[in-house]
Chain A
Amino acid sequence: MTMQVEQKEAEGGFELILSGRFTFTDYPAFRRLVSDILERPVSGYVIDLEKVEFIDSAGLGMLLLARDEADRKGRSVELRGPQGQVKRVLNVARFGTLFTIRG
């Protein structure tokens, strides 16, 4: 089962809403949407992880690449609402020191 990626324009900027399992096979859609957002004139965007049930190291790698790409273009990326396994993985990987993680 692949992850669903939804792009949404919100008050503060753009949001990328993910749901399901975030693994290697999800890279084409994720990469394309991240690139799309960075084409727009926004200062940054939020990746919503609330509905993500599972993430593996490839998913973490993709989040880091998204952050690198945003940095190169002078934009910011925030993570929001990780739950369960995702929250625990982000904790073990100390993503709190690399990202702003809300809720």
Chain B
Amino acid sequence: MAPDGGPGDICPETAPHGTDTWVKRYCTANAHAPSGIAEPAGGGSAGDLRRAVRCLDSWLGLSDVQRRTLEALVSEVMGSSDLVERGAITLSDSFRDLVSQANTQTERVESIAQIVSRIEVDGELISLQQVTRELETSLVEVVDHIISLSKKAMEMVYALDDVIANVDKVEVLIGDIETINRQTNLLALNATIEAKRAGEAGRAFSVVAGEVRDLSNRTKSLAEQMRSQVGTVTRGVREGHTILQGVATMDLSSHILVKERLDRMLRALLEQNEAFREVLDEAAHASNDMSKSISGLVMGMQFQDRFKQRLEHVTDSMHVLAVALADLEDETRTAFPDATKDSSRADALVDQVLGKVRMDEVRKRLIARLMSGGDLSELDRPELFEEGAQHDGDDGIELF
């Protein structure tokens, strides 16, 4: 009950002294009410009855306001509870959306990582590491071929050197033949001279000596041809040497640079991959943490259930009070058909109640309920609460 003002005069502490005392005190106070109907204290039984009826009139007015206020408060509390419930559901749904969006985001990051680290070649997906490795393998194969070629060329060079060594030996042998041939030629010349000296007897011998000189000349010519042929072979071998030098000699510096660059690229790709993986792990962790936090939030939203239950207890109790007041009003009217509702005190109570309500839309609903005797079911529709809630969002609390 209101702690101050007019209605406070109906102080419960007087109750233990019995209804009579309560009625007297109340009605004495009521003698100063705006109605202005004053009765002399300690009047006869008719006067007591009139005072009692007047008290009842006041009580009926007060009870009516109390009942309406209780009903209005029940409706207000239930409306607020609904508001909180809808808010909680909306929040929970939003939180779930957040979780699924976080998961989608992680999947996107993962697919980006996949796309970035792979290329499509002939319909086949190949990782960049694989590309680099293939390049490196190709380079190593090229180098292998170069070295294999150089090795064969050097083998050929060694073989040609052996040929030259043999050809040198042949030249020495030709020289030997030429020396022998010169001596043979000299011998044949001497034999011819001796045959001339011998005269007729040496004629046949002279023919033989001439034959030998012919043979010697032919040998000389042969040796010259051999020398010439050997010279050709030697020149050929020397030319081959030059060609083989060109084949065998290759500076591999550029290959080294390419190989080392490929190695660095491979390392960089591996590092990049590692970095990607770390980011993905972090994203997955963050997403997981977010899911947990949001699950916690959704759990936390269950306070609304308890909140609603408590409010239901409150509204049920208020409803019981309202019904009790209504019953007592009915009983009073039945017992005292003359009693009529006196709203002078009730109006003061209404002013006090409204004085406590600072939100404009709640005030409007309360006023509608307290001032109107008609059907107020329209006022309980959730939309009114929703509109009010949005309205408050803009204007905040209106100070009285």
Which residues does A use to contact B, with CB under 8 Å?
Answer: 23-24, 27-28, 31, 56-58, 60-62, 64-65, 85, 88-89, 91-94
Contacts and interface: CB of A to CB of B under 8 A. Distances in A.
Contacts of B245: 24, 58
Given A88-B260, A92-B259, A94-B140, A58 B150 contact: yes
9 contacts: A58-B154, A58-B248, A60-B151, A65-B151, A88-B260, A89-B256, A92-B139, A92-B255, A92-B256
A27 B155 CA distance: 11
Interface stretch (B141-149, B230-238, B311-319): B141-149
Given A57-B252, A89-B252, A31 B151 contact: no
Contact of A92 (B153, B250, B252): B252
A69 to B, nearest CB: 10
Interface centre among B139, B153, B252, B260 (most CB of A within 10 A): B252
A27 B158 CA distance: 9
B238 to A, nearest CB: 14
B223 interface: no
Contacts of B144: 93-94
Contact of B143 (A31, A62, A92): A92
Interface of B: 139-140, 143-144, 146-147, 149-155, 157-158, 161, 245, 248-253, 255-256, 259-260
Given A88-B260, A89-B256, A61 B147 contact: yes
Contact of A93 (B147, B249, B251): B147
B259 to A, nearest CB: 5
Contact of B153 (A61, A91, A93, A94): A61
Main secondary structure of the interface of B (DSSP, over half): helix
Contact of A56 (B139, B143, B155, B252): B252
A57 B147 contact: yes
Given A24-B248, A57-B249, A89-B256, 5 more contacts: A56-B252, A57-B150, A57-B250, A91-B256, A92-B139
A57 to B, nearest CB: 4
Contacts of B147: 57, 60-61, 64, 93
B246 to A, nearest CB: 9
A27 to B, nearest CB: 6
A61 B151 contact: yes
A93 to B, nearest CB: 5
B237 to A, nearest CB: 14
Contacts of B250: 56-58
Contacts of B259: 91-92
Given A57-B146, A92-B143, A94-B140, A65 B158 contact: yes
B129 to A, nearest CB: 20
A61 to B, nearest CB: 4
B255 A61 contact: no
Nearest to B146: A57
Nearest to B259: A92
B118 to A, nearest CB: 28
Contacts of B161: 28, 31
A92 to B, nearest CB: 5
Contact of B150 (A60, A85, A88): A60
Contacts of A65: 151, 154-155, 158
A24 B249 contact: yes
Contacts of B253: 85
